[in-house]
Structure 1
Amino acid sequence: MMLLLVLGVLAACGPDAQKETGGSSEGDTKGEEAAKPEKLVVWEDEKKAGWLDKVAADFEKEHGIKIEVKEVEMATKMRDSLRLDGPAGTGPDIVTLPHDQVGQVVTEGLIAELNVEQEVKDRFSESSILAETYDGKLYGLPKASETPVLIYNKALADEVPATMEELYEKAKELTSGEQYGFLALFDNYYFAHSVIGGMGGYVFQENEGVLDPKDVGLNNEGAVKGAEYIQKWYEEGLFPKGIIGENGGSALDGLFNEGKVAYVMNGPWAFQPYKDAGIDIGVAPLPKFESGEPMKTFMGVKGWHVSAFSKNQEWASTFIEYMTNDENALYRYEQTSEVPTNVALVEEPAIAENEGAKAVAEQSQVAVPMPNIPEMAEVWKPMADSLQTLVTGKADAKSALDSAVNSINKNIEANHGGK
């Protein structure tokens, strides 16, 4: 009798009980022991869902699960809608989010940890998997990335300099009057990190996927060296005063569209507007420094995530793995032009023969994912303020960065000290 009672208790704690509570164990085999739902609900970004028609149909044919797709604007509405619809039981099983929101949504309990095999993680660039990792745990699989690259006007430049030092010399040669050799928004920390990071600075120290907000490396020796490198472009008149501040982006684009700039540093979002302006553009990864170190641009990763409120988390994870396999990632790229981070696709003809996509894919291999922890919110303004004092000659590199880091540390302590 006692034996039968024990067996009964064990049965109640088995896979069926876990399915009812939404739990899972490391020993579960996804999709085999989980109850099969009639459908999964997927929220994809606005004007990006068309590719899912084919992929969803293929998945339904293979597994007998219907995929219902809804378009929701990703940058802000996706997260806000999940906050409301998830707890109400009317939300999705799968959402797509920019990776820099991962830390916040995990802290709020909105998405679930993903447990996938190492061979699945190995599909993607190491940096893109790091972008989907928070506090050492994986919360999503990448679907696409973007990062700044070198864009040039073929009418003014017929080659890509091998190093940033060569680009500097080329810029001095081509800058005269209202004509400029190279422009970048180096007073904007999103772009400036390429130099600061490339020379040894870092935002937060990273250790095995965990970012330490108490170790800020934005005023170390490398960071100061990077800031001094940035400062000289302004001191020597290679950048016009009009590209400083919040209107800098539109000023830079205007000059390039008027045919007054040979090279610019910008992201893939600028490709089509430049072409629409009649500029015959070339695109390449940013040149490395003479030391061999790359320009460590910030990378943004868009990923797929399982809602913490989903009752079908195992199958949702299975569909995410399916969506992001090499075949479907390539198909999505062909339909949306958003560059995947799958390592095997870098040399795929559809990407390798597209100059812009290839440049983004190659630059992404050396890019740094923007930190996805909540403390990153305390970095942007102090760095912007200090960079502007730097490029306007109101402070030297060390003083400017010391001031920024002092503010960052104080703000983190004040707003996140109890975490």
Structure 2
Amino acid sequence: MKRHPSFPLLLLLALVSWTGLARAAEVVVWHGYRASERAALERVVAAYNAAQPPSGVQVKLLAIPSDAFTDKISATLSRGVGPDVFVFPQDRLGGWVEGGGLLEPLDFFLDPSVRQRYVPGTLEAMTYRGSVYALPLNFKVITLIYNKKLMPKPPRSTGEMLSLCKALRAGTKDKDRVCLAYPYSDFYYHAALMHAFGGRVFDPGPRVRLDAPENVKSLELLLKWVAQPGLVPAEPSTALVTSLFNEGKAAMVFSGPWFIGEIAPGIDYGLALLPTVDEAGGKPLTPWMTVEGVGISSHSQHKDAAYDFVRYLTGPEGAHVMALQGRQNPALARVYDEPAITSDPVLSAIRKQAEVSLPMPNLPEMTMVWSPATSAMNAVLHRVATPRAALDEAQKAVQKDVAGLRRGAKGTPESPPAKAP
């Protein structure tokens, strides 16, 4: 067969065109990071892209405002569009799985070495009904942050805490000074005390258990703390907590890594494990662990390439950068063996507290808990209701909403308030 004289040129053009298309293929990643976290993620992506062959798929980042992020994910992925990969908080997982299969299950991709490489509890947070839907990227927990000038040695128990606070109070004439500051009316912060008593939000099933007797005991102890002069502020708020600590009017706070960036220059502070609770038989204050994961859209056309990047980002290459530049606590366990991270007082302290924490529930029903639980906390602290009565009322409210959710009458649950910046 006689070929057209221009056949070689046409073949070359076709090959160039095909190569250009291959190079143009992208894995689009959405995130809500800002400042150092964004810069760190951009650095990880640049390193990943540089390591790919000329015809390899390239990763493209798109920053979405954090206050609109989860709603935008829900809206776009439900229409079959949006990113290939996205970073999201664990509390959205159950709702997205139940609400239409927006996430690709990753069990097919996972081998034992990947399953075993993360800090305990973090992969569990990205697991729903036995399937893994994202790889954990980072975690946050509340811990004890103290002013070394006011309290050189942090308390190991609530008994020690009360004794130290009594001595601190006796040694000052400043009526505005308190010993411990934290947003104790916020259910997210109170959960640490609730868990010390064996309290919980759900029993297996899941079955709502806000009215559990252990939860009642935790609120009764909180009322005793509030009643003690100079122990905690009368009207707690995150802004007040920051102000008190920075002005030297609070010896310690219960807060997370997001608080570190708010500490004023010149404050000599330290981090330590939350104390054990003598009134709960010596069990430790056990905060919720909140986890951010990296998931893949079920509509992605590049699932294999997307998983390759997800594994890279949550592996040693990504974890090192996200820790030292992004100031995150990576979910990858082995990164804490690095001297630069082991010697970092913040990263190492948060890692230790993670060993005494519980993953926040990722059930769709959890989105129904926040408002009734907050109402119960306020009712108790303002002496409008007893702990038992307030929690009974919250239990009924959540049960009603959950029943509606399970009947499909409520549609997709609304996003809960952001709990861990």
Same fold (TM over 0.5): yes
TM-score range, shorter chain: 0.7 to 0.9
User: After superposition, where does 1:37-56 map in structure 2 within 5 Å?
Assistant: 38-47=25-34, 48=38, 49-56=41-48
User: After superposition, where does 1:252-271 map in structure 2 within 5 Å?
Assistant: 252-271=241-260
User: In structure 2, what residue type is equivalent to 1:99?
Assistant: Q
User: In structure 1, what residue type is equivalent to 2:208?
Assistant: V
Is it true that 1:251 corresponds to 2:240 in the alignment?
Answer: yes
Deviation at 1:109, TM superposition (A): 2.6
User: In structure 2, what residue type is equivalent to 1:222?
Assistant: E
Partner of residue 268 from structure 2, selected from 267, 280, 296: 280
Partner of 1:343: 333
What is the alpha-carbon distance in structure 1 between the residues aligned to residue 339 and residue 214 of structure 2?
38
Are the aligned partners of 2:42 and 2:61 in contact in 1 as well (CA < 8 Å)? no
User: After superposition, where does 1:65-80 map in structure 2 within 5 Å?
Assistant: 65-74=57-66, 76-77=68-69, 79-80=71-72
Deviation at 1:80, TM superposition (A): 0.6
What is the alpha-carbon distance in structure 2 between the residues aligned to residue 316 and residue 36 of structure 1?
15
What is the alpha-carbon distance in structure 2 between the residues aligned to residue 88 and residue 329 of structure 1?
30
Deviation at 1:122, TM superposition (A): 1.2
User: After superposition, where does 1:163-182 map in structure 2 within 5 Å?
Assistant: 163-175=157-169, 177-182=175-180
Residue aligned with 2:102, SS: coil
1:141–1:46 Cα change, 3 Å: same
Are the aligned partners of 1:79 and 1:97 in contact in 2 as well (CA < 8 Å)? no
Residue aligned with 2:103, SS: coil
Residue aligned with 1:242, SS: coil
Q: How many residues align?
A: 373
What is the alpha-carbon distance in structure 1 between the residues aligned to residue 248 and residue 283 of structure 2?
31
Once structures 1 and 2 are overlaid, which stretch shifts more, 54-63 or 197-206? 54-63
Partner of 2:104: 112
Length-normalised TM-score, structure 2: 0.81
Partner of 1:95: 86
Partner of residue 239 from structure 1, selected from 232, 235, 249: 232
Deviation at 1:197, TM superposition (A): 1.2
Are the aligned partners of 2:44 and 2:318 in contact in 1 as well (CA < 8 Å)? no
User: In structure 2, what residue type is equivalent to 1:280?
Assistant: D
Length-normalised TM-score, structure 1: 0.82
User: In structure 1, what residue type is equivalent to 2:87?
Assistant: T
What is the alpha-carbon distance in structure 2 between the residues aligned to residue 352 and residue 171 of structure 1?
31
What is the alpha-carbon distance in structure 2 between the residues aligned to residue 132 and residue 75 of structure 1?
21
- Over the aligned positions, Cα root-mean-square deviation in angstroms equals 2.5
What is the alpha-carbon distance in structure 1 between the residues aligned to residue 224 and residue 373 of structure 2?
18
Is it true that 1:185 corresponds to 2:175 in the alignment?
Answer: no
What is the alpha-carbon distance in structure 1 between the residues aligned to residue 300 and residue 402 of structure 2?
33
| 1:6-33 CA-partner distances (Å, limit 9, x unpaired) | xxxxxxxxxxxxxxxxxxxxxxxxxxxx
| 1:353-396 CA-partner distances (Å, limit 9, x unpaired) | 11111121121222222222221122112111111222233333
Partner of 1:134: 128
User: In structure 1, what residue type is equivalent to 2:26?
Assistant: K
Partner of 2:193: 195
Partner of 1:391: 381
Partner of residue 411 from structure 1, selected from 401, 411, 419: 401
| 1:249-273 CA-partner distances (Å, limit 9, x unpaired) | 2122221121101011112111111
1:417–1:233 Cα change, 3 Å: farther
**Structure 2, unaligned runs of 5 or more:** 1-21, 410-421
What is the alpha-carbon distance in structure 1 between the residues aligned to residue 267 and residue 360 of structure 2?
30
**Structure 1, unaligned runs of 5 or more:** 1-34, 207-211
Is it true that 1:60 corresponds to 2:52 in the alignment?
Answer: yes
Residue aligned with 1:228, SS: helix
Deviation at 1:239, TM superposition (A): 2.1
Partner of 2:301: 311
Identity %: 28
User: In structure 1, what residue type is equivalent to 2:223?
Assistant: Q
1:74–1:222 Cα change, 3 Å: same
User: In structure 1, what residue type is equivalent to 2:177?
Assistant: Q
Partner of 2:19: none
What is the alpha-carbon distance in structure 2 between the residues aligned to residue 164 and residue 417 of structure 1?
44
Deviation at 1:227, TM superposition (A): 1.6
User: In structure 2, what residue type is equivalent to 1:414?
Assistant: G
Partner of 1:365: 355
User: In structure 1, what residue type is equivalent to 2:65?
Assistant: E
Deviation at 1:347, TM superposition (A): 3.9
Partner of 1:152: 146
Deviation at 1:74, TM superposition (A): 4.2
Deviation at 1:283, TM superposition (A): 1.6
Residue aligned with 2:184, SS: coil
Once structures 1 and 2 are overlaid, which stretch shifts more, 176-185 or 189-198? 176-185
What is the alpha-carbon distance in structure 1 between the residues aligned to residue 210 and residue 407 of structure 2?
20
